Amino acid sequence: MIIEKVITPERILCDAQGASKKKVLELIAESISEQVPAINGKDLFNSFVCREKLGTTGLGDGIALPHCRSKACQEPTGFMVRLAEPVNYDAVDKQPVDLLFALVVPEESTQEHLNILQALAERFHSSELLASLRSATTPQQLFELITAPV
């Protein structure tokens, strides 16, 4: 499965705090930067914000897939967050978001970027998976759920 190639249990936060869309994107950018030191957290945050200006990555049903390209990124890198409390994310259905899967890809990684986003969108389309993700209690459980065969 393509998703397990971009995420690890260490790149998952369970019941994270985020007061706003901006704060959540900052948290994600800083967390990715800690995991992948070649990626600057402030630059990554700015890239996420620029991408959001093109159109929301809030898919609906409490899901968001913030994503961007980065010159500093050597391989596709995912980071998942389940928020303790949903935040307003300007999602297409106007509902708050509590599950986010961020994706950073190398600048030249066009088709791979789209393939990963498609795989994620398909996974998050399952109401059973969403319920399981929302009731999981550890990053390891979230990892197992998001990477499990369909």
Tell me how crowded residue 94 is: count the other CB atoms within 10 A of its CB: 10
Residue 61 makes CB contacts below 8 A (sequence gap 6+) with 93, 95, 124, 127, 130
Catalytic residue among 11, 21, 67, 113: 67
Q: Is the Cβ–Cβ distance between 133 and 101 less than 8 Å? A: no
Residue 131 parent element (H or E): helix 127-135
Spell out the long-range contacts of 44-52 with Cβ–Cβ below 8 A and sequence spacing 24 or more.
44/68, 44/70, 44/104, 47/104, 48/102, 49/22, 49/25, 52/21, 52/25, 52/90
For this structure, is 67 an active site residue? yes
Q: Give the tokens for residue 41.
A: 């957290």
Q: What are the catalytic residues?
A: 67
